[in-house]
Structure 1
Amino acid sequence: MFKFVRARNFFSQLKLNKKFLIMYIFGVILPLVITDAVLFSSVYDAELSNQRNYRKNAIDAYSNHLQSILQYDANIATAIDLNKDLNSFIDTDYDIPYGYFNSYVYTVSTSFFATLSDINQDRLVIYSDNESMMSGHYFHNIKEAYSEQWYERFVKTDASEAVYAYYDDDPVVLTTDRDRFIYVRKMENAKSALKLTRIITIEHKMTRIYDELKEIPTNCKMYLTCGDYVIYPTGKDAEDFQQVVTKSSFSPYITVENVNMYDNTFTIYAVTEDLTILKVVREHILITVLIILFTLILPILLLKLLERSITDRITILGKAFGEGGSEYFQPIKEINGSDEISELMHNYNRIVEINNELTNTIYKDKLREQESDLARKNAELLALQSQINPHFLFNALESIRMHSILKGENETAEMVQRLAVMERQNVEWHEDSVTIAEEEGFIEAYLQLQSYRFGDRISFDIDIDDDCKNILIPKLTMVTFVENACIHGIESKASQGWIFVRVYKEEGNIIFEVEDTGDGMEVKDVVQLKNKMNSVTIDAVKKAKHVGILNACLRIKMMYKDAAKFTIESEKGIGMTVIITIPEDKIIRAQTEVENA
């Protein structure tokens, strides 16, 4: 019971959209995903079963074809073994070669011996140890087979027939194909009067075997081996065979079957492509789309519509109540529906009407109080501003004095002109705030004067986005940071220095940067100054010995209601950058003539 109460309290603290999200996940999406996963798993298993059937059928096809070739060879060998004329011909002891030749021609022509095999694809040879026979064409002395691999393997077995496939590294006849596929059988049906050893061999060209296997239709990749010898495929097609052998022990996409034929074992590999859920989806794309549409997308869309019909109106009602910080509550202008939420919104409008009538009775008193507070703040701002104007004037006059001492009076007129520009702008500004464009002119005039003082030791660059030039800031604030960069940055460094002034937009903020390549500050001093800038108050400015930077920070914070944030980046001996960040939605811009009209 206690756990139930805790769970209920937990859900009571969640917003409606999060509650609906939990309902989506655990009440809709998760069950549907599990259901679809089970369904796709069944389809996947069915595809795996189909692949196994494809591989089994392909192996059976290869096995049957190989069996048919060897059975045909066995039938030919049986026909030869039972042919009396051939047995008589082989079993005769010939006195002279001429007699053997006449008997050979007669036997071959009358026994249809030449028609038993395809001379273009097969090679039929009968070996015997009849020394009176001449070796040639169909008949050879058995001594010629002694060094053949098939003979060496055949005589070691007790089998009457066998088949061998191998690569002949050292063929007896150099013109013979090195890829050998040969059927071997002893002639034992007719007894030899001379007690001769007789062996029938039928050798097939490997190209024939390859072409016939290639024509067998399969839905998978096939490999046929005899021991270590790969019969099919050959060349580049067999390069990945070793990988197949390695994977065959664990891969669900490879089927291996050993087929015993005629005292030898052939191994057939059937390989199908790796099966993934993505491939299954592609093969059943229409069914997949329908399943996802009706079991996932449509239910989610319906629940989303239900959520929006509730949360949107609750959000409107919540925002309406949230605007109560102003003097007047705003009524909800458009109310849709006729359910409980709509009734609640109508009741809210009735309360707003009553509340606004009460607010009118106290509004004028509150307005007078606000005007009094505003006047007090303006007085404080004017007091702060009055501290800055002489500050800049004295620094400018000091620059002229130093220049006159060092260079004479040749350029004094131009320096006085710069000073006049600064003073003219100071006199013409009747408000505490100015645009960035106006402040830019003052900064440029000030830096031009400083360039007379420092000469080649100072260079500057001002880069202000056009869209930022009508932004209002307290006057003489940016130039305060520029002055600080000149006096405490460039002046304390003997080598040439730069001052950069930038104003730009970045990620919803307006960024003000004043950077110098002067002497920089220690880390502890940076931290201390940064804290003072971000927590400055009027009392702190009044107590400070040097009011310039803190004065500028305070005026900016007062203008933008503490929305401005100050950051300092500095490294001793490298330079210093002051960064002011103000959210763009808090920025105040100067009104154009069209807006004023």
Structure 2
Amino acid sequence: MTQIGFRFNNLRLKSQLFIAFLIVVLIPVLIVGIFLTAQYRNNVLEQATRQTTNNVDKIVTQTADILRIPMELSDDYMVSTELSNLVNTRYATVFDSTHALWEFNDFRSAVKLYREVDYIRLYADNATLLENWEFLHLTDAVRGTDWYRAANAKDGIHWMYTANETRKGQKSLSLVRRIPFPTYKTSGVLVIDVNPKLFDTMLRQEPYDTMIVDASDTVAAAKNGSWIGKSLSQLEFPGLAGKAEGTYNMTFGGEEYRVVIEKLNPASSVNGLRIVSVFAVESIVGEANRVARLGMGVLAVSMAIALVLIYIVASVLTKRTLVLYRNLSRVGKGDLQVYSDIQGNDEIGLLSRQFNNMVASIRGLMAEVEDSHRQRTELEVRQRDIKLKMMASQINPHFLFNALESIRMRIHMKGEKEIASVVRMLGRLIRNNIEIGQRHIPLGEELEIVRYYLEIQKFRYGEDRLEFVIDVEEDMSLTLIPPLILQPLVENAVVHGLEGIGEGGRISIAGKRLQDGGLELTVADNGVGMTPERLRDNRDALDDPSEDKQHRIGLRNVHQRLVLNYGPGSGLRLESRDGEGTEIRLLIPRMKEE
């Protein structure tokens, strides 16, 4: 990491800005864009899958309703005495056979009455019964069909895609069932063709390709009419043959598809049907991909414009920086008549003005150095003054601390121990402010800072005007707390509580542990106190970020830092009586132990 930072610092400002733009803007935007696009694509695909599943459930229900009528009719024919007698009677004449067929109109009535039924026919072995497109003889060709063998192999309802020879081989989904005639110890095979128009009407409303497949993987009905009558292996979906119900991701012809399969097993049926819905993934996510491409295009254009703007801004910054660098180089070579005319209130403009101040200061110092040669005795004083002026623009708390320490030593050597002690405590306060950071500090360290502060104030006000007591349990000294949360409360007590007190001012600081392991610190004074209205205003100001009154900033800062660190159960609690003093309780419910 250090090596990377070293290399980065060796780059020109323009290059640093470009790299920062890539890291801070371009890469995160690309990552977010790719993530959102993928999420959008997945959401669209899952929504389409849910819709397809719901549609398939609906088709299963509707198909079951369509098949219910043929099933009920077949149950009626199973116990029909009229049908049994008609099929098994040996007719002496053609007239007798014709009359019997005319009298039996159950098949014709059912076709007229129920729109779910397209055609009904019964195959029986009775040569004396004439064929009339409803009752047909069992020929060798019929006995060789799959549906006939299946019906005789196992009792029950079979759903199969069959051909109707009475209608020139027209095919449709049919109920096939062996009808036993126990009285005559014979049987026939009933075939009820389901009306294909109902399936066409139902499936044509589906948004995706949907089909009804029988047990032999033959498409009995489909939204795409060219698929009807073909096996799945003949279509583009060979992988669907024999698939159980569920949702699948499959590839056909190099294209990705989402497939939803549900089974329909009607009551008393030997075999069932499968409802299969297929849609190409690209047809669903195509719009999402188009939006993604459009978004990437807009992003690319935006990034290009941003890069151009960054280049322009970087050029302006580097140009101004180079001007300042050349001016510094001239000063380094001894030219103190340089003046930097860089305008602006940004950092470079401020540096330019500081540069001019520095050059002016150096010129003044040089003039003083020349004048100091007049007297040997004043040389050291003037040189020291020049050095102080040269460092005036760079003075910092470290310098103040070191200066105070030097003053303290001089005072101590002269026997002014009380003043030296006060200066030492002031130095410690400054050093603590220098070293303070975001880390938590022990409570004992915070109390030491408060003690120094109160001793200094006691020195200012005098022994009669201010006294203080610190009563904190000794085992709490290692408890870690945020820095500078107690000193502002004490300062508030001194400045606003005791300013109006002529003498007898007292500040008490107490600390104890709560039963839940928390910490309670109390800062109390016997000062002027507050009226109820002012107390209410101060309480309200603790949680009001818009409050900007100067004397409330310290309390609000401490309160909000505590709430941020420890939650709403922490913070400051104010109590005060006008003319009697003020008490501030500081609550920390959870503590870190060092």
TM-score normalised according to structure 1 size: 0.45
